[in-house]
């Protein structure tokens, strides 16, 4: 019983780590796209 609980905690930890990694990658992608689109908008204004 105790062994199953520890295994489930390990699986849950891996899942949560994966979720945080994906959120981090999405955040970085949005920041990069924002920088590129921000430069294009500044060039159009000139």
Q: What is the pLDDT of residue 18?
A: 98
d(CA 44, CA 42): 5
> What is the reported pLDDT for 30?
96
Query: Contacts from 22-30 at CB under 8 Å and sequence distance 24+?
Result: none
Q: Which of 7-11, 25-29, 32-36 comes out lowest in average pLDDT?
A: 32-36
Handedness of CA 16, 19, 24, 25 (dihedral sign): positive
Q: Which residue has the higher pLDDT, 39 or 41?
A: 39
Q: What is the pLDDT of residues 12-29, one digit of tens each?
A: 999 999 999 999 999 999
């Amino acid at each position: 019983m105790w062994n199953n609980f520890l295994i489930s905690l390990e699986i849950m930890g891996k899942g949560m780590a994966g979720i945080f990694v994906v959120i981090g990658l999405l955040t970085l992608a949005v920041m990069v796209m924002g920088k590129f689109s921000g430069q294009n908008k500044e060039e159009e204004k000139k």
